[in-house]
Amino acid sequence: MPLHTAHHAPSGRMIDAVLRFADVQEEIDERRTRLRLSRQRLRQPEVRAALGQDARRAGQLSIIFDEQEAEIVEVANDPEPEDGDRWLHQLERAYERRTWAERAQLRRGRA
């Protein structure tokens, strides 16, 4: 079993659907929010209709969106963690929020 699975690049249609239907919104800092689709949301008929065969792949994406600039900062592979991995996932997210905040301070010259 391979340790790393290659993913095809997400299409514009897939990114648009994640932006429209995202039900998981995690604030990274005062400007940026991580958007993703939960497993429950992926099962809803309107989401399945919009994504078709790309539904599974869309569930593995997260989009970091800058609210102030109204632009996508990053699109990343970010599968929803299994229940046993949730604590590690939460720890990683806390670290990412801190890192984003530190980078923002550096950009503003406040470090």
Tell me what the mean pLDDT of segment 90-107 comes to: 65
Tell me what the mean pLDDT of segment 6-28 comes to: 88
Q: Would you tell me how many other CB atoms lie within 10 Å of the CB of residue 93? A: 14
Residue 73 has pLDDT above 70, yes or no: yes
CA 75, 7, 18, 76: dihedral to nearest 10 degrees? -20
d(CA 51, CA 17): 7
Domain ranges in the chain are 12-108
- pLDDT, residue 8, reads 73
44: nearest Cα among 15, 13, 22 = 22
Whether 55 and 25 have beta carbons less than 8 Å apart is answered as no
Span 74-86, pLDDT tens digits: 998 876 655 545 5
CA 13, 14, 17, 23: dihedral to nearest 10 degrees? -170
Residue 2 has pLDDT above 50, yes or no: no
Tell me what the mean pLDDT of segment 24-37 comes to: 91
Percent of the chain with pLDDT over 90: 42
Tell me what the mean pLDDT of segment 85-90 comes to: 54
Tell me what the mean pLDDT of segment 39-57 comes to: 91
Residue 45: pLDDT band (50, 70, 90) is very high
Q: How many residues does the chain have?
A: 111
